[in-house]
Amino acid sequence: MRGWLLTLGLAVAAVPAVIAVIESNARIGGRVPSPMQATVSSSGGRSPMPIVVAGEEAIRVGSRMQANQDIGNDVIFLIMATLRRRCHPTLAHDLPRMAVIARLPVLSPGDGTDRYSEDLRHDITFTVNEIARRAACSQPLALRIGSYSSVLDPEAYARAFPESYFSPTSVETSKEAQGASLEQRVADSCTAVVYAKLPLDNVHAWQCAALRRNARVAIFRVCHTEGTLPAQAASHIQRLIDAMPLTCQ
């Protein structure tokens, strides 16, 4: 992952080497809604900016995004991260850092094999940079990449990240965020505690999504409770985990 992000200009100096190889290829919850499902009203009244990329590279990328949900999630993540770097340079590292902290399966191999050939990587890099170059910083994007289309709001994507990796068009702010910005959550040591216990790299039944989400919120609260001794906090957190069905832990 790191080499590709560097190619796109997303150097992550403070992120551990694990960013180079995110090992899990599992996916959890949330499917990308059908193209153009998001509405203008869901973007706070801001009209989406149409961006059409129709070259040979985009045609190939769009086809793969439609055929493979995981590739679609990865490409959108790269678009959002690259655009964030251009529009908010001081916040450029937040999305990649959170991807590592939450153990998102970004650019991970599929079924034990690398689904990204050198040609596909080239096509994606070209397409991502073209979109980021043309996009406005203050508007949602009405994207058409070859035959693939979707409406995306970069600000909402960042607010809901890392959950938005799996549901890019969602505009619902993550309950786990507790009103904090992505920058604040990345800098918060409790974020690492939460995702160390309940990462986003494993497959779980859909019934587990709410249980795991609520447990993460509870772990945040325990971690932030003033005066709690580390041993007490660790014991409380473990009880929260143990209270969930084994299949959801």
- Outline where 8-147 has alpha helix (H): 56-67, 69-87, 94-101, 118-134
Query: Which pTM value belongs to this model?
Result: 0.81
Burial string for 97-122 (b: 16+ CB within 10 Å, else e) reads: bbbbbbbbbbbbeeeeeebbeeebee
As a whole number of angstroms, the distance between CA 212 and CA 248 comes to 7
State residue 112's pLDDT score.
58
As a whole number of angstroms, the distance between CA 70 and CA 92 comes to 23
Q: Which candidate, 76, 80, 74, places its Cα nearest to that of 35?
A: 76
State residue 170's pLDDT score.
75
State residue 120's pLDDT score.
93
State residue 76's pLDDT score.
96
183 close to 94: Cβ distance less than 8 angstroms: yes
- The 10s digit of each residue's pLDDT in 141-189 is 999 999 999 999 999 999 999 999 999 987 677 666 677 899 999 999 9
State residue 149's pLDDT score.
95
As a whole number of angstroms, the distance between CA 171 and CA 42 comes to 7
145 pairs with which residues across the strands?
Answer: 53, 148
The residue ranges of every structural domain in the chain are 1-172, 175-249
State residue 116's pLDDT score.
87
- The 10s digit of each residue's pLDDT in 232-241 is 889 999 999 9
Q: Scanning the structure block, which residue is given the tokens 């660790």?
A: 234
State residue 63's pLDDT score.
96
pLDDT means per 10 residues, the chain with 249 residues, are: 49 33 28 34 69 95 94 95 94 94 85 78 95 93 96 93 89 72 93 93 80 92 82 91 90
State residue 245's pLDDT score.
92
